[in-house]
Amino acid sequence: TQLLEQSPQFLSIQEGENLTVYCNSSSVFSSLQWYRQEPGEGPVLLVTVVTGGEVKKLKRLTFQFGDARKDSSLHITAAQPGDTGLYLCAGARGTSYGKLTFGQGTILTVHP
């Protein structure tokens, strides 16, 4: 089993602050996906990064895939209460159907 270590597990910040969530592994992944999940709902895909060194931006969210494709980060600028939720990274090996390896998740709370 390839482990994905996600940190921090919990993050409680004020509106307007910046934050970074990290996802690290000793294994190489062919792609890394980030999801956000709100209570009582399923995870929603935010982004998929595929190429080592790739950077993708989604409004105030910036995602980066490490050069060696073993780690990834999610940076949120000027967090808002609507960003509150469980953030999950998930790694895929290969390109065919199969299982994702999920990180343990980061519970983010943004206070007004």
What is residue 48's three-state secondary structure?
Answer: strand
- Residue 88 near another protein by CB under 8 A: yes
Using CB atoms within 10 Å of the CB of residue 74, give its burial: 0 to 12 exposed, 13 to 18 middle, 19+ buried.
buried
- Residue 33 near another protein by CB under 8 A: yes
- Residue 27 near another protein by CB under 8 A: no
Smallest gap, in angstroms, from Cβ of residue 16 to another protein?
25
Smallest gap, in angstroms, from Cβ of residue 78 to another protein?
26
The residues binding another protein (CB under 8 A) are 30-31, 33, 35, 40-45, 48, 50, 86, 88, 92-100, 102-105, 107
